[in-house]
Structure 1
Amino acid sequence: MIEQQIPLHTPFTASSTAADVLHDVDLTGKNVIVTGGHGRLGSEVTRALSSAGASVTVAARDPERAALALAHVDSITIEALDLTDPASIDAFVARWLGTGRALHVLVNNAAVMFGPELQLDSRGHELAFSTAHLGHFRLTRGLLPALRAAHGARVVNVTSGAARFGQIRWDDLDFATGYDPAAAYGQSKRANVLFTVELDRRYADEGIRSFATHPGVIIGPGPHSPQRAAAFRAQGLVDEDGNTIIDPEGGKKTTEQGAANLVFGAASPLLEGIGGVYLKDNDVAELDDSDYPLNAESIPSMASSAMLDADDARRLWEVSERLTTEN
């Protein structure tokens, strides 16, 4: 909500890690779901929340792969979930609700890397939008009884600074008239923020608060293939020797620094009474509608009025309801 999009001036910085944010935070007795909680960023979120005492369930399309990736993390559960498959989502929801457990935190983290060619799910929806938004929309709505039962729950939707530039293609969500990978990614990330806004508006009174979190740009330490290194170099993400550039204030972060903003949204007591906002650098992001360039030296990721637009948020919710009901 735009009126709440005001920095809190927390004690954390862009360089803070997940461990810094969760210092002295006790999550014992809290149940958490992290979708894609075994990937590079997701595994650090899983590890950090589990270390703080939470009971973490990792939802993964490939549970065996997730188990291998998380072999170093104790006291977690791994469940099968394919966010592009309505039957898989509904089965996951049924299993969770069948346990009678409350859900204190849902981290909607899973996404797909966009490619040069258009990819569709089995229902004909563009894959980035299907995974990052429609799948999480269906999952979150299905888990509402468990979120209500927590009597104080949070939904964290992992977005990107690309939400600032992304547009919802209302008349062509699936890029039938021409595919652009950057536009597809931007649409999915804008959708994450708009979903956050409307989810909080609808359910804050029931104790469910929602946050959109931008982790920063995280490409990992390498080594990178020559092709990827060349692309990263053009984006200002690696140096001439192929080494990853870490510049937290400039938005280029380590995995531990990127995960910090996600666990900040999931568990920080500093966010009590707040919701429907976009977070970056472990704080509520500044609202700035200025027209900044996007280039290798500048990666603007402040909040904008457009990405938090209440009318667009309601419209997207209604469209998403229709699309997930039809399938």
Structure 2
Amino acid sequence: MTFQTPLNSGFGPSTTAIEVVAGRDLSGKVAIVTGGYAGIGLETVRALVSAGASVIVPARDPDRARQALTDMPGTSLEVLDLMEPGSIDAFADRFLASGKALHILVNNAGIMANPLARDGRGYESQLSTNHLGHFQLTVRLAPALRRAEGARVVAVSSRGHWISGIDLDDPNFDRRAYDPWIAYGQSKTANILFALMLDRLGESDGIRAFSLHPGAILTNLSRHMTREQIQAQGALDEDGSPIIDPARGIKNAQQGAATSVWCATSSQLQGLGGVYCEDCDVAIVASDNLEEPRGVRPWAIDPDMASQLWALSEHLTGHVWRSNSVRV
């Protein structure tokens, strides 16, 4: 059963990633942050490095990543394309060959509401990038996560999961009409269900998993939205300048990265796992009559749906989680 109840952590919407790790020593810890060279991913890396962690940033655009990470000792750059299974396997093989333990894996990279595109297998691009690529990466890195004897996997989801659950019969829009926002919502629900099931399977191996909503942050993720669409969401003022209002969930990148870092490092989550978090705390379960948009929708924490999605993901990727635990 998911312990989906706030902890009253003492943090809040305005908390920054650096504030989360203040006083923590992550020396000797190894982290991987996908998409860690822009937006909240970059601020996640910055916070982990500031606390002493060694952080590997796998990037689809190495030149851009190299430029973003120039002022951050403690980081190293690798090549990874989450829509290319061979690229994922090559990255995982290189890391496993190093013999290192992996203490923190932040599955942060993503795309949002783009026109219909497919990977080489024919899978819809948002499901491929946001969920299936990270699923394969995590399964392939399982030996290194076990080696840590206390690893955390963080899936960066979104309140966008409110838009849609998972269509297990047609996840890749082969038969239904493609809607970029339905596809995005589906992929974000998949992130939450992934963390729920991974935590169930990984707990006996010392692997705990979490998912989260970072907040609404204006980053390159919104490149497929028009200015009018962004303005309609209250994220731009009349002059087109970004509005920062954490109380309404509209954050800067440092605030947006805080919950990722909290999930990856906080001792307050010791003994917990599989929960969906926001504002550096465990989120509530959102009921249908909730007046304000916060919390996690019940369909995203349904254990039966999590199990079914996991089986489908193994089938679609050809990668199977092997563990000492018994699947229930």
Per the shorter chain, which TM-score range? Answer: over 0.9
Partner of residue 267, structure 2:
269
2:156 corresponds, among 148, 155, 158, to 158
Partner of residue 78, structure 2:
79
Contact 1:90 1:142 in 2 (8 A): yes
Letter in 2 for 1:10: S
Partner of residue 26, structure 2:
27
Offset at 1:306?
1.4
Partner of residue 100, structure 1:
99
Partner of residue 8, structure 2:
9
1:310 corresponds, among 303, 309, 328, to 303
Q: What is the RMSD computed on CA atoms of the aligned residues?
A: 1.8
Q: Does 1:171 align with 2:169?
A: yes
Partner of residue 323, structure 1:
316
Q: Structure 1 stretches of 5 or more lacking a match?
A: none
Partner of residue 193, structure 1:
192
Q: Does 1:37 align with 2:36?
A: yes
Contact 1:200 1:275 in 2 (8 A): yes
Partner of residue 238, structure 2:
240
Q: Return the alpha-carbon distance in structure 2 between the equivalents of residues 214 and 28 of structure 1.
A: 27
Contact 1:42 1:109 in 2 (8 A): yes
Offset at 1:73?
1.6
User: What TM-score, normalized to structure 1?
Assistant: 0.93
Contact 1:201 1:276 in 2 (8 A): yes
CA 1:98–1:220 in structure 2 vs 1: closer, same or farther (change >3 Å)? closer
1:290 corresponds, among 288, 291, 306, to 288
Partner of residue 148, structure 1:
146
Partner-residue secondary structure (3-state), 1:198? helix
Offset at 1:171?
1.5
Q: Does 1:18 align with 2:11?
A: no
Contact 1:220 1:254 in 2 (8 A): no
Letter in 2 for 1:119: A
**CA shift digits 1:140-197 (9 cap, x unpaired):** 0011100000000000000001113321111211112211011000000000000000
Partner-residue secondary structure (3-state), 2:311? helix
Question: Percent identity between the aligned chains?
Answer: 49
Offset at 1:5?
0.6
Letter in 1 for 2:251: K
Contact 1:162 1:301 in 2 (8 A): no
**CA shift digits 1:108-165 (9 cap, x unpaired):** 01112322x3111111000010001000000000111000000000000000011133
Q: Return the alpha-carbon distance in structure 2 between the equivalents of residues 234 and 163 of structure 1.
A: 19
Offset at 1:75?
1.8
Contact 2:284 2:294 in 1 (8 A): no
Contact 1:37 1:110 in 2 (8 A): yes
Q: Return the alpha-carbon distance in structure 2 between the equivalents of residues 136 and 166 of structure 1.
A: 20
Contact 1:59 1:81 in 2 (8 A): yes
Offset at 1:228?
3.4
Q: Return the alpha-carbon distance in structure 1 between the equivalents of residues 43 and 85 of structure 2.
A: 27
Offset at 1:304?
2.4
User: What TM-score, normalized to structure 2?
Assistant: 0.93
Q: Structure 2 stretches of 5 or more lacking a match?
A: 320-328
Letter in 1 for 2:194: F
Letter in 2 for 1:106: L
Letter in 2 for 1:134: L
Letter in 2 for 1:67: R
Q: Return the alpha-carbon distance in structure 1 between the equivalents of residues 231 and 131 of structure 2.
A: 30
Offset at 1:220?
5.0
Letter in 1 for 2:309: L
Contact 2:163 2:181 in 1 (8 A): no
Q: Return the alpha-carbon distance in structure 2 between the equivalents of residues 288 and 167 of structure 1.
A: 14
Q: Does 1:229 align with 2:227?
A: yes
Offset at 1:292?
4.8
Letter in 1 for 2:278: K
Partner-residue secondary structure (3-state), 1:174? coil
Contact 1:27 1:54 in 2 (8 A): yes
Partner-residue secondary structure (3-state), 2:118? coil
Partner-residue secondary structure (3-state), 2:24? coil
